[in-house]
Amino acid sequence: MPLKPKDPRVLSGRRVAARHALVRGRPLDEPTPNRTRSVATLCIDIGGTGIKMIVLDPRGRPISERARMLTPHPAKPAAVLEVIRSMLPAQPRFDRVSVGFPGVVIDGVVHTAANLGPRYWKLYPLERELTTLTRVPVRVINDADLQGYGVIEGRGVEMVLTLGTGLGSAIYIDGRLVPNLELGHHPFKKGKTYEERVMDAELKRIGKKHWTTRVLEALAQVTLTFSPRIIHLGGGNVTHLRGSLPKNVRTFTNVDGMTGGIRLWQS
């Protein structure tokens, strides 16, 4: 998602510095104390159950502990932004923000939010609102798309699936993202979508063993449909899978996924 030079969201180095000076309460013309400090990225994952954030250095190494707060219900934009605002003071300083959102996001604007309340979020300019809130450049994309950036190898067709409140999905070809795949809402089996078969509510309802069987069925179907070289499987519920996984499947943690917030700025 390269930003064009004329994009109003792209700030010149001086304007970014000016904004930071304001955030930190320094007069604008005072020299920056440490000009060699490397760029720090605040990565935020907005989930149906929790809102997570962590600050990463340019190599994707955590500078802070991962923080987590429950997603408010109803998850209206103002309530979600209020939770994010309340978490910011505990974070180390950051220069830019990467956000994974659980729905279709196009040019920083939300189009769907199946597990948050679609009617609240339709056409919500999340990227713009978070830029106003944090006063640094912000990029927002789908949560699975962002997590995938953290784990893909950049070779051939790679799929990413995340098992959480919903089912996140992403596909990349030689490292290039095809955004907003939304496989979770495609029809799958017994009149249900993929998401309806493997979502967190079903795990709780049917237990780990039967839920694992369903996840394996979904992996088999996805393999037949897309022939991915590899499927990266993440999300909070990945730890509840029982037994071994097919050879083309590799698991990853939420923190691995959040490092996608670095690659987002290189894409």
Residue 183 Cβ, how far from ligand BGC at the closest point, in Å? 9
Residue 135 Cβ, how far from ligand BGC at the closest point, in Å? 27
**Torsion angles phi and psi, residue 7, rounded to 5:** -60, 125
Q: Which residue, 7 or 107, has its beta carbon nearer to ligand BGC?
A: 107
Conformation bin of residue 93: beta by default, left when phi > 0, alpha when psi is -120 to 50: beta
Scored b (16 or more CB within 10 A) or e, 233-245 reads: bbbbbbebbeeeb
User: Is residue 182 part of the contact set for ligand BGC (CB under 6 A)?
Assistant: yes
Name which of residues 45 to 104 contact ligand BGC (CB under 6 A): 102-103
Q: Which stretch binds ligand BGC (CB under 6 A): 34-42, 124-132, 160-168, 226-234?
A: 160-168
Q: Taking a C-beta distance cutoff of 8 angstroms, is the pair 74, 120 a contact?
A: yes
Scored b (16 or more CB within 10 A) or e, 205-225 reads: eeebeebbebbbebbeebeee
Work out whether the CA dihedral 59, 64, 66, 72 comes out positive or negative: negative
**Would you give the binding string for ligand BGC spanning residues 212-251, x where CB under 6 A is met?**
----------------------------------------
Query: How far apart are alpha carbons 109 and 122 in whole angstroms?
Result: 8
Q: Which residue, 40 or 168, has its beta carbon nearer to ligand BGC?
A: 168
Q: Which residue, 158 or 182, has its beta carbon nearer to ligand BGC?
A: 182
Q: Residue 16: name the closest of 33, 32, 36 by CA.
A: 32
Q: Taking a C-beta distance cutoff of 8 angstroms, is the pair 261, 58 a contact?
A: no
Residue nearest ligand BGC, Cβ-based = 166
User: Is residue 166 part of the contact set for ligand BGC (CB under 6 A)?
Assistant: yes
Q: Which residue, 129 or 182, has its beta carbon nearer to ligand BGC?
A: 182
Query: How far apart are alpha carbons 255 and 147 in whole angstroms?
Result: 9
User: Is residue 254 part of the contact set for ligand BGC (CB under 6 A)?
Assistant: no
Options 41, 71, 134, 162; binder of ligand BGC; rule CB under 6 A:
162
Name which of residues 189 to 218 contact ligand BGC (CB under 6 A): 195
Name which of residues 112 to 151 contact ligand BGC (CB under 6 A): 112, 114-115, 142-144
Q: Which residue, 103 or 137, has its beta carbon nearer to ligand BGC?
A: 103
121 CB contacts (<8 Å, ≥6 apart)?
Answer: 77, 103, 110, 112, 113
Q: Can you give the binding site for ligand BGC, defined by CB under 6 A?
A: 102-103, 112, 114-115, 142-144, 162, 164, 166-168, 182, 184, 195
